[in-house]
Amino acid sequence: MGPAAHGLAPAASSIGLVSTVARTPLILDVDTGIDDSLAILYACASPDAELVAVTCLSGNVAAADVQRNTRAVLELAGRADVEVALGREQPLLRPLDLAPDTHGPHGIGHAVLPEPAAPLSQRFAPALVAEEARRRPGEITLVTLGPLTNLAIAVLAEPALPKLLRRWVLMGGSYRVPGNTTPTTEWNIHCDPEAARICLAAWAAAVEQDATIPRPLALGLDVTETARMLPDHVVALARRAGSTPDDTLDPGREPGAPERRSVASNPIVRYVADALRFYMEFHAAYDGFYGAFVHDPLATAAALDPSLVRTRALAVDVDASGGVADGQTIADWRGLWHRPPNVDVAVEADAAEFLRRWVERVGGLAAARSDVAR
């Protein structure tokens, strides 16, 4: 993608074409996390995605919960065959910070999933990323949905990684809007700003040496907070899945009753409703709306179809000074640094089309899984 911004796609432009488009091999790097789980479901439900592996690290919750949640969600989606590898369990230099108030004590809100049967991979997640990129040079898109610790370790061990990957897409940063963790910082970057600096510097150096290497595509809060999943979207999901409706996502109902779980007949719909109810109660308390920002699924959708976002090529750095702006992603909008751009920052997203696709695809997966169960 060149320095010029590209336009938004017409609504539903690629949905009817996915059967004729080659599948994109994806590795998702996650800290599952409610919205990570919705991103995993989207990848499993997308005919234009080949889910190569999912790598895990601490972030939203501790790594032990992350890898368990990830394997359980994959099994819910019928994808126990996907390799799940655990990586770094602590940030590079800092104490571990977790977000149970946002995602629940174990990371999936009010949802409860069976203990996964598929084993955890014996590979170390950063090694897996490097090994798969070497095995399939120029093919794999890496989508990082949590802190960048695993990727920093991978690129330090394999400096050629920016050239070996097809592209790196990240959910991370806050470029022209306030942060969601401190006044200036977004959660994923906040958790390990040193790792973020290593990754951005590695890609900047690689792009400067070889202009054919694509810049990372960054979806920050500027665009991910335009993707709001509301109770109506869960109703539409249930309809698409052929499920009896869920009755728990009622904004007028008293919050904080995890024992009252979804009565939807479809297990994927039940999971989504129970996980999202926790997230929606959080946003109702802190952000003034009963719904959920679904940051990670939007980033995953944009990795498969970059026309969902409009971007601007910018020089971006991360503050890791420990001061009041520690963890801030700083974008040079006016070119004052006179540095070449090192990130394609998303400045607009077709959130309505993304949400339509999420309901259609995950609803279709839910319907198919219901048929398998019967």
Query: How does pLDDT run along the chain (374 residues), one tens digit per residue?
Result: 333 333 343 333 333 334 456 899 999 999 999 999 999 999 999 999 999 999 999 999 999 999 999 999 999 999 999 999 999 999 999 999 999 889 989 999 999 999 999 999 999 999 999 999 999 999 999 999 999 999 999 999 999 999 999 999 999 999 999 999 999 999 999 999 999 999 999 999 999 999 999 999 999 999 999 999 999 999 999 999 999 876 667 666 655 555 577 888 999 999 999 999 999 999 899 999 999 999 999 999 999 999 999 999 999 999 999 999 999 999 999 999 999 999 999 999 999 999 999 999 999 999 999 865 44
Token pair of 30, please?
């996650």
CATH number given to 23-368? 3.90.245.10
Contact 306, 217 (CB under 8 A): yes
Catalytic residue set: 295
∠ CA 127-318-8, nearest 5°, is: 85
| Tokens, residue 322 | 């420990």
Q: Comparing C-alpha atoms, which of 241, 289, 248 is closest to residue 265?
A: 241
SS3 assignment, position 65: helix
Other C-beta atoms lying within 10 Å of the C-beta of residue 312: 17
Residue 245 pLDDT: 73
Sign of CA dihedral 308, 220, 74, 260: negative
Whether the Cβ atoms of residue 190 and residue 325 lie closer than 8 Å to each other? no
* Burial environment of residue 352 by CB neighbours within 10 A (0 to 12, 13 to 18, 19 or more): exposed
Give the pLDDT confidence score for residue 18 in this predicted structure.
41
DSSP assigned state of 102? H
What is the separation of C-alpha 32 from the centre of its chain, rounded to a whole number of angstroms? 9
Name the DSSP letter for residue 182.
B
What tokens were used for 200? 């951005």
Q: How many CB atoms lie within 10 A of CB 10?
A: 10
Structure tokens that stand for 250 in this block: 């009622």
- Give the chain's length: 374
Query: Nearest CA to 249 among 210, 225, 275, 227?
Result: 275
Is the alpha carbon torsion for 12, 23, 345, 234 positive or negative? positive
pLDDT at 13: 33
What is the model's pLDDT at position 5? 35
Q: Reduced to 3 states, what is the DSSP secondary structure of residue 204?
A: helix
The reported pLDDT for the residue numbered 256 is 53
pLDDT tens for 248-265 read 676 666 555 555 778 889
**Which segments of 227-328 are extended strands (E)?**
228-229, 292-293, 309-314, 316-318
Residue in the block written with tokens 């939203």: 60
pLDDT of the residue at 192: 98
Looking at residue 251, what is its pLDDT?
63
Q: What local confidence, expressed as pLDDT, does residue 257 receive? A: 57
Residue environment code for 47-76, b if the CB has 16+ CB neighbours within 10 A, otherwise e: ebbebbbbbbbbbbbbbebbbbbbbbbbbb
Which pLDDT does position 16 carry in this prediction?
Answer: 37
